[in-house]
A and B are shown apart, each in its own frame.
Chain A
Amino acid sequence: MTDFPALLKALSEANVDFVIVGGAAATVHGSSRLTQDLDVVYSRSPANISRLVSALAPFRPYLRGAPPGLPFSWDERTIHNGLNFTLITTLGAIDLLGEITGGWQFENLKSQSIRLDIFGIRCLCLSLEALIAAKRAAGRPRDLEAIAELELIRDQQNRQ
């Protein structure tokens, strides 16, 4: 199980700049679909990468699905040299995305996010409209049903 509150708290308390996207963002907006991991788009600034490394280090991030023993260093250089990371931590699964389809990065997505006040912390989550658009842009067949649900949620919200 992924401990969403603990992961969000770790990132937030370290002042990491990030936006919740993906299935967890869909849950925030009212989706009932099961997702196993926390997807976040993080800022690629050197200072933020440094904060991100410090925030997650206590939870021993490792490449999800990689064979045990595969060399992996959780440090600023690794994050700087990579972009998107699918990780397992002692708090559960987290995907760290430097950008999402369309080249959208934290700096672009920030203005298309809503501010959440949950579990005693404040963080950003991609807006429902932007989440629908991002999933459309990704063009993955498995997202089609998720898009359908998100559009129904939007319709329901518009009726309220």
Chain B
Amino acid sequence: MSELDADKYRDPVVEAYKSGIDRTLIRENLRRSVEERLNDLMALQRFAEELQKAGTLEQRERR
């Protein structure tokens, strides 16, 4: 088990990424249940698919 334990090492690249992460989203997500988080993920997938479809349609119309 110890090999998969996250150690105390702080990767400087990972630390640099942290400054750009919205902590309010994390706090909001942690207030939700696991089911709500997975349902939100599926809603996000649906939204992304709709955006992709709209983008593809727009590109076709422009040609």
Q: Which residues of A contact B (CB under 8 A)?
A: 1-5, 24, 27-28, 30-32, 34-36, 102, 104, 108-109, 111-112, 116, 118-119, 129-130, 132-134, 136-137, 144-145, 147-149, 151-154, 156-157, 160
Contacts and interface: CB of A to CB of B under 8 A. Distances in A.
A30 B30 contact: yes
* Size band of the interface chain B makes with A: 20 to 34
Contacts of B6: 129-130, 132-133, 136, 151, 154
A7 to B, nearest CB: 11
Contacts of B17: 144-145, 147-149
B47 to A, nearest CB: 9
Contacts of B57: none
Contacts of B53: none
A34 B35 contact: no
A157 B35 CA distance: 18
Interface in B17-63: 17-18, 21-23, 25-27, 29-30, 34-35, 37-38, 41-42, 44-46, 48-49
Interface of B: 1, 3-7, 11, 13-15, 17-18, 21-23, 25-27, 29-30, 34-35, 37-38, 41-42, 44-46, 48-49
A145 B31 CA distance: 22
B10 to A, nearest CB: 9
Contacts of B42: 1-4
B52 to A, nearest CB: 11
B25 to A, nearest CB: 5
20 contacts: A1-B42, A2-B42, A2-B45, A4-B41, A27-B37, A30-B30, A104-B4, A108-B4, A119-B38, A130-B6, A137-B4, A144-B11, A144-B17, A147-B11, A148-B21, A152-B21, A152-B23, A153-B29, A156-B23, A157-B30
